[in-house]
Amino acid sequence: MTIDFRAEFDKRQEDFMADLISLLAINSERDDSQANKEHPFGPGPVRALEHFLAMAERDGYQTRNIDNYAGDFEYGEGEEVLGIFGHLDVVPAGSGWETDPYQPVIKDGKLYARGSSDDKGPTMACYYGLKIIKELGLPISKKVRFIVGTDEESGWADMDYYFVNNGLKDPDFAFSPDAEFPIINGEKGNITEYLHFSGHNQGEVHLHSFKGGLRENMVPESATAVISGAVNQQELVEKLSEFTKQYAVSGQVEVVEKGYQVTIFGKSAHGSTPEEGVNGATLLALFLNQFAFEGEAAAYLAIATNLHDDFKAEKLGLAYTDACMGDLSMNAGVFRFEDNSVDNTIALNFRYPQGTDEQVLKTGLEKLDGVSKVTLSSAHHTPHYVPMDDELVKTLLSVYEKQTGLKGHEVVIGGGTFGRLLKRGVAYGAMFPDSVNTMHQANEFMALEDLFRSAAIYAEAIYELIK
């Protein structure tokens, strides 16, 4: 049976766009300030989940909402189950957008909105891939379970809850449409380690506060500090102007009640690729480090300065490379300092290959001058790898090669996807090798043609895995 999956998708393109735009219009950022039993991660993720499940019910699926943590539906019959894992939550929009991040805009063949590429766009493309198989009534011998989560961008508590409470056996194999083609069959370990500091000031210049970063898995797009003491506004403005010109960024000085507020604006990026961003927090520390801070404030700024552009943790003495999985990477993601606080922090998100581990990193960090202690995040993922000779990997690469004419090959990433939830799990699309990666950045977009051709690839891939 020969099926032109792209032609089948094109028949449904208008419906696809309507469904996707309605989903993108929902602000599904995690909001712990409004979290409760009915809204475990705040109301936004729940709204997105309910919207997606209502769409699936419209299309004839029997859906399940697992206590507003996650949802699923199944299609087909058979003993073996293919799992498809997407997520509906998004990272905070942040600043720097040219359009409203929750009013999707199509411009120059690109769809701009938070979640367009991570992960509502790819999840919807995959959903329509399965929709094609269902509507054509293609013969299959396995079952598909389509699962959507609501906390992928934070701690994966959605999937922790889902696997304990969904009442079904785990899928036998799975993929997640939340990365890139040709395939992601290896993912580095992922752990955040927190450096703790006291907040006492000594010296001629006083650090009242230092704040930067929204999430541990995002490069801080900006940072702000409030200082006072032996420094004046004109000096600050002149020095900042020279500094921002040198590093090709922007900044500002404002007079506030306690002294002067200094802000530097960088560029956000995904925490797995910190080299693609400009860390506003480490830049701000680098700028402030020239002034006469002393005591624990000076220690805080010195370490933050040392983190600047240290993407492989080489300055910290923690660099590590594995022949298969590549280099360790580090993102200095969240900075919080308050004068006289006993618990100021810097959050370092590590993506590490096999051969090292979180305890080795912790031991190294504990040697840093001025650090009172080091703690670890509860969310922790160890390195994950599915061999190239696995039938799942071979099938997905074969479909990719057929549809694109490009050679498939294995890829190991620092990012963490739901593909690692199962031993036989991978990530598959939806970014192509020539795509521009705007995940976790301002003005996130996905090219419409990339969405359309990925939907066709997903349709054929799902069919090949379950026929």
| Pairing mode of beta strands 186-187, 189-197 | unpaired
Calculate the alpha carbon distances from 208 to 230, 238, 419 in Å: 14, 21, 43
CA distance 44 to 29: 6
∠ Cα 149 115 66 (to 5°): 15
Marked catalytic residue, from 8, 19, 89, 221: 89
- The separation between the first and the last C-alpha atoms of the chain, rounded to the nearest angstrom, is 11
152 counts as catalytic: yes
Q: Is 259 left (phi over 0), alpha (psi -120 to 50) or beta?
A: left
Question: Cα separation of 110 and 35, whole Å?
Answer: 33
* Pairwise CA distance, residues 175 & 193, whole Å: 28
Active-site residue (options: 152, 193, 221, 358): 152
DSSP 339-358: TT-S-EEEEEEEEE-TT--H
Backbone torsions φ then ψ of 237, nearest 5 degrees: -60, -45
In the Cβ-directed half-sphere of 14, how many Cα atoms lie within 13 Å? 1
- With DSSP H G I counted as helix, E B as strand and the rest as coil, what are the percentages for the chain, rounded to 5? 30, 30, 40
CA 464-419-436 angle, 5° bins: 90
Cα–Cα distance, 187 to 405 (Å, whole number): 25
Q: Closest by alpha carbon to 437, among 311, 321, 267, 322? A: 267
Handedness of CA 413, 436, 315, 370 (dihedral sign): negative
Q: Give 339's contacts (C-beta < 8 A, 6+ positions apart).
A: 199, 200, 201, 206, 207, 208, 209, 297
Helices (H) and strands (E) in the chain, counts: 11, 26
- Tokens matching residue 137: 């009534």
Active site residue 410: no
CB 297 within 8 A of CB 304: no
How would DSSP label each residue in 75-112?
ES-SSSEEEEEEE--B----S--SS-TTS-EEETTEEE
In the DSSP assignment, the letter for residue 456 is: H
Annotated catalytic residues are 89, 152
